Amino acid sequence: MTALLETPLHDRHVLVGAKMVPFAGWDMPVQYPTGVMAEHKHTREQASWFDVSHMGQVIVRGASHEAAALALESVTPASVAGLAPWRQRYGLFTDDGGGVLDDFMFANHERHWFLVVNAARADHDLGLLRAVEGLDVEQVTDRALIAVQGPLAEQELTRLIPAAAEMVFMDSRVLDWHGVEVWVSRSGYTGEDGFEVSVPNDEAVRFVEELESGGVVLPAGLGARDSLRLEAGMPLYGHDLSPDITPAQAALGWSIPKVRRPGGSRAGGYPGADVIGAELVDGAPRTRVGLRPEGRAPIREGVELFADDTSDEILAVVTSGGFGPTVGGPIAMAMLPSSAEPGHTVYADLRGKRVPVTVTELPFVTLNYKR
C-alpha cells in the first residue's frame, strides 16, 4: 500500500486536532474540532485559511514567453497569449472528444507561466504538458500553498503583506513577507474575496501562525471547502467535470473567449475544438444547473433525477450535492437537458421516494470578489 503524501503543514493539523482523511493520495484535514458547519460560517463571515499544498504548482517556459503561451494554447481553449502580465485566468485541458481532462489556474509572471492544477490530476497534467513540443515544464515541490478566504481576508493578509491590498480579483504577484518571496494571487474556491499564497515549505507553519495571531483567521478543512464551493456554484473535477462533460455542458463557456472560438483570430488548435466550438455556437444538449430540493434532506452525488414522479427514464444524476449552511438548506448540481430552465421542477429518487427539486441559477450565493 502506497504511503499517503503529507503537506508541510501536516504535523500542525494533527497537533490542533484535525480529522485527517486520504484525499488524492494525500493525508489531508477534512475538519477541525469546531466542525464543518462552524468553519463554513466563519469563512463567510470573517476569514479562514485552507491548506491547499496538495495542489500541483507548475512553472512553464518556452523558447520565448510568447512561444510558451502559444504552445499552451495547443492543449487548452483558454486565451493564454492574451493574458496581461501579472494577471491570472481559469483554463481547461480538453480531449479530442471535447471532454474536460482537468481545470486549472494560470498566471502570466512575465518570464514564465505559473499553473496550479488539481491534486488528483497533477501527474496526468504534468505528462500532458511535457508532451507539448517546445515547453519546459517544472513541477514546484518546495513550496506550500495556503488559501486565505473570507470578507476579512484582505484585512488579515495585509497585516503580513501590506502590498496585497493593491491587488484586485485575478491579480497575481510576487511579493515580500519578512524578506521571504511569496507568490500571491487574489482568487480562491469559496466565492468570497481572498488570496492564495505560495510560500517556501519551511516557512509554511510560521506563515499560518502569523495569520492566526490576529485572532480572526481560523483553519478550515476539505469539508468546508466543498460546501463553500458548492454554494458558489463552482465545479469539482471528477464530479461536475470529466471527459464525458464538455465546457459548454459544464456551463464554462465563459472561460473560452471570442478569440479562441469559431471565427476568432486564434480559433481552434486545441483538442476537441470542433465539438467544443459547435456547442458554443449552437448550444449544448445539456447544461450544469443548480438544484434546490424540497425539504431538508440533501440529495448527494449519484442521486437519479426524473422528469416527473412516475417516470422510469433517468433524466440525469446529481454531480455534486449537500447542505448549504449559508443557503440554509440542501443544494445540488446536475447536467440537465438545456430545456430545463430555472423554475422547472424535476424529481429526485431519495431512498425510493420521489422528491420535487427546483432548477435554479448558479451560484446559490452572491460572489464577493474585489474587482
The structural domains of the chain, with segments of one domain joined by +, span: 10-55+141-231, 285-371
Asked if 10-55+141-231 and 285-371 have one fold, the answer is no
CATH class name, domain 285-371: mainly beta
Q: According to the model, what pLDDT value does residue 1 have?
A: 67
CA 118 to chain centre: 8
What does pTM read for this prediction? Answer: 0.97
Question: Residue 61 and residue 85: Cα distance in Å, rounded?
Answer: 14
Q: At what angle do helices 36-45 and 222-231 cross, to 10 degrees?
A: 50
Number of alpha carbons in the 13 Å side-chain half-sphere of residue 287:
21
Question: Residue 135 and residue 26: Cα distance in Å, rounded?
Answer: 28
Question: Residue 296 and residue 308: Cα distance in Å, rounded?
Answer: 20
Fold of 10-55+141-231: Gyrase A; domain 2 (3.30.1360)
CA 147 to chain centre: 12
Question: Residue 98 and residue 280: Cα distance in Å, rounded?
Answer: 11
Pull the grid cell for residue 231: 454554494
pLDDT of the chain, 371 residues: tens digit per residue: 689 999 999 999 999 999 999 999 999 999 999 999 999 999 999 999 999 999 999 999 999 999 999 999 999 999 999 999 999 999 999 999 999 999 999 999 999 999 999 999 999 999 999 999 999 999 999 999 999 999 999 999 999 999 999 999 999 999 999 999 999 999 999 999 999 999 999 999 999 999 999 999 999 999 999 999 999 999 999 999 999 999 999 999 999 999 999 999 999 999 999 999 999 999 999 999 999 999 999 999 999 999 999 999 999 999 999 999 999 999 999 999 999 999 999 999 999 999 999 999 999 999 999 98
Question: Residue 103 and residue 135: Cα distance in Å, rounded?
Answer: 19
Q: Identify the sign of the CA torsion 178, 10, 25, 52.
A: negative
- Find the helix or strand (DSSP H, E) in which 203 lies: none
Residue 196 DSSP SS3: strand
Residue tagged 422510469 (cell numbers) = 312
